[in-house]
Structure 1
Amino acid sequence: MDLKESVRNQTDVGLRMTRHLFLAEAMGQNMVCSPLSIHVVLSMIAASTKGPTQDELLSALKSTSTGELNSLASNLLPLVFADGSPSGGPCLSFVNGVWVDRSLPLKPSFKEVVDTFYKAAQKHVDFQNKAEEARAEVNSWAEKETKGVIREVLPPLAVNSSTRVIFANALYFKGTWDDDPFLDEVGIVKIPKFKITSWFEVWGILKQLGLKLPFNMTEMVEAPPGQDLSVSKMLQKAVIEVNEEGTEAAAVTVTSASFSLAAWEPRKKIDFVADHPFLFLIREEMTGAVLFIGQLLNPLQG
């Protein structure tokens, strides 16, 4: 499968996921999410599974193999997330991390995958005796990688002594407008300034997409005999702010176990005045990858 087809499949999965998310979680509120961030975390989880669990994940992600998912990550991320800020382009950051309890050594095959394809930082921590310190470490990592936009992705009590593994993905975007966003040569464009912060549990949405829980991650660590390591929760926190200067957005997706803003050129001059609810997305033009999707119902919220 070539890159374009893989991106189309990822976008289709992301749109379906977002539709379920907004119907279940938005409850008439503004909301933003990063389906790509969720997709990457699920891809790393798929690499840690086998058998029926892996088949179920591959089907949900519209992929034929973990090799295909790994290839998408390794080929897409350098293209989409090349930092163009020195030349005045968008600043993009996309990083992965895996925190594992120090009692569980990673299997060499899994370590090679996350090293080679996902460039994921891997750290061993003491969940059993220092769960709060581990939570603080993940939150500090997320804050650093999102340039301070997301300060706490794991709330209190999200990590405890039974936690054994945390997967995390942090996505940060900041771009300035190519043109004055409120008066463009193709017509009058008026959108309100707004800021949206969303925090939600992802598992309920995955269940609606047909995924059965938990996921047994048999190919990730050398687990003690008779003990299965499985995913227990998956959270995402996303923030977006749009104003006269441009757009800043960030998302962090965590799982625990126990662009420039391209100008659209229509055929004729039109006006767009966003004085009504609307959907929006941030899309990378060259690959078509959708980074963020959101809905604005009330610009005064948040």
Structure 2
Amino acid sequence: SMLFHIFIQFGFERICSRIENMNRSWILSWGIGVLIGTIVALVIGAVVINVTSGSSSKFSANCVPIESQEDLLDYELAESANIFDLKLFTQILGSVDPYENMVLSSFSVTSVLSMIYLGALGASKEELMSVLAFPCGQNVSMIESAYLGSFAKANKNLKSDANVILESANKVYIDANYSLTRAFEFQASEYFSSLPDKVEFATSPDSARVQINNWVEARTNSKIKNLLPSGAVSSATKMVLVNAIYFKGLWKNAFSRRKTFTDGKFYLDSGIILRNVSMMSVESSLRSGNLSESTLVLKLPYQGEKVAMYILSPHAGFILDDVINDLPLVVEADFESHLDPRMTTLLTMPKFKIESEYDLKRELIPMGLETVFNPTKAELQGLSDDDNLYIDEVIQKAFIEVNEDGTEAAAATGVLAKSALINLEQKVINLNKPFLFFIKDVSTGLVLFSGRVSNPNA
């Protein structure tokens, strides 16, 4: 599950999410909080000009041109969202401990920041367009129509089917004494299927908190409970925006538990060799290829092939930093163009479980999103007529677990097709060094989750 929360309130608060009752499965769980506060004091910020002037040149080279009605109709959200994903992912990789596992959902960040965009004006609006890699062109109305229209289309396509559970939902909570602008309310409903709920933040903040937690719990199949702990919502809170993404998938080519061994070796980039690592093994028809001389690309589809995991791993003689340096080669996360035809593959890889938490405000500012965090510079008047608002903080919390089957419900299922593969040449892939992974929705082209496995025993 992936959750995004945006708080509009006075002062600085921090959102914590608690993940409970995770069964052994392919589960992704995210929590993000963006805190927005009303102006309570005049604080002069001197860094805005530098960031604003630098952000346009940094991102302009990546924008997708929209010059005609045909361009508008052809545009897909993934053309922007995957650019943002790789930039944010790379930014975080460069700022966290290099030996730390991590998991991220940039798409959930995109969802919430795009909702904020609906209420942004002036420099704040321009920064959001730039950082989110909006399409570009002379006609701003056409650009907005392309981007927001593609968001509505993508959200309709991010649905569960017979093979995977995949849901994305958005919600806006507003204090009973506050009002949203009509334009924001209409667009939040039109593009994000989010209808506002009035809650009593001012008089009964804890009741409002419980109501939000109940919505989140329902949207994540009870996998995330008590998302907002006691005290996270106060009488100063004005608005909460939530995005929830939930994914559970079953491997198309299941790993046999009988072949899992617990004395595997994993070679860290520091030179340390981990022993007693649980390694899964499967022999199947898979697609892999080379991103470069240093980087292997491997595709692991889920049943139905609506969603797939792509793994980027260093070849012999290279390390994960070489893989990270190759990320610009994956334009818009187009992994498929680097894959060779299917062939029989003996794959060995570690089981792993990762929990991550980020202060994304710290990561977004260097990317060019500055004024929205500044009480004297933020222009978010399009959200509500009642106050001048600014973003206090952006927090994401995430969880992922990978095992042999994909989901606990499919524990008795095994898909092995050895007899049909006997006469084919076999390729051997042993993921026994740190690697990156990306989980992509094939129907929309969107990267939903990305991460790094540096130490499977951590």
In the TM superposition, what are the counterparts of 1:23-38 in structure 2 within 5 Å? Answer: 23-26=94-97, 28-38=99-109
| Candidates 116, 124, 130, aligned match of 1:59 | 130
| Candidates 59, 70, 77, aligned match of 2:148 | 70
In the TM superposition, what are the counterparts of 1:202-213 in structure 2 within 5 Å? Answer: 202-212=360-370, 213=372
Q: 1:142 Cα deviation (Å)? A: 2.0
Alignment check: 8 A CA contact 1:142 1:153 kept: yes
Structure 2 partner of 1:257:
none
Structure 2 partner of 1:284:
441
| Candidates 397, 406, 409, aligned match of 1:246 | 406
Cα separation, 1, equivalents of 2:425 and 2:76? 31
- Aligned partner of residue 89 in structure 2, secondary structure: helix
Alignment check: 8 A CA contact 1:40 1:169 kept: yes
After alignment, is 21-30 or 56-65 more displaced?
21-30
Distance 1:6 1:95, change over 3 A: closer
| Candidates 200, 210, 221, aligned match of 2:384 | 221
- Counterpart amino acid of 1:201? D
| TM-score where L is the length of structure 1 | 0.84
Cα separation, 2, equivalents of 1:176 and 1:285? 15
Structure 1 partner of 2:161:
84
Q: Percent identity?
A: 29
Cα separation, 1, equivalents of 2:150 and 2:228? 28
| Candidates 294, 298, 302, aligned match of 2:455 | 298
Alignment check: 8 A CA contact 1:46 1:57 kept: yes
**Matched length:** 276
After alignment, is 229-238 or 29-38 more displaced?
229-238
Q: 1:38 Cα deviation (Å)? A: 0.4
Q: 1:97 Cα deviation (Å)? A: 0.8
- Counterpart amino acid of 2:197? K
Alignment check: 8 A CA contact 1:46 1:66 kept: no
Alignment check: 8 A CA contact 1:49 1:217 kept: yes
Structure 1 partner of 2:67:
none
Q: 1:100 Cα deviation (Å)? A: 1.0
Structure 2 partner of 1:43:
114
For structure 2, the residue ranges without an aligned partner over 5 or more in a row are 1-71, 137-142, 256-281, 286-343, 409-423
Alignment check: 8 A CA contact 1:216 1:231 kept: no
Distance 1:28 1:111, change over 3 A: same
Distance 1:2 1:199, change over 3 A: farther
In the TM superposition, what are the counterparts of 1:191-206 in structure 2 within 5 Å? Answer: 191-206=349-364
Distance 1:21 1:142, change over 3 A: farther
After alignment, is 37-46 or 202-211 more displaced?
202-211
Q: 1:104 Cα deviation (Å)? A: 0.9
Cα separation, 1, equivalents of 2:156 and 2:97? 32
Q: 1:156 Cα deviation (Å)? A: 4.5
Are 1:183 and 2:275 an aligned pair? no
Cα separation, 2, equivalents of 1:273 and 1:35? 28
Larger radius of gyration: 2
Cα separation, 2, equivalents of 1:150 and 1:61? 28
Cα separation, 2, equivalents of 1:299 and 1:202? 24
Alignment check: 8 A CA contact 2:175 2:200 kept: yes
- Counterpart amino acid of 2:221? K
Distance 1:125 1:268, change over 3 A: farther
Distance 1:268 1:157, change over 3 A: farther
For structure 1, the residue ranges without an aligned partner over 5 or more in a row are 249-266
Q: 1:289 Cα deviation (Å)? A: 0.9
Cα separation, 1, equivalents of 2:397 and 2:218? 15
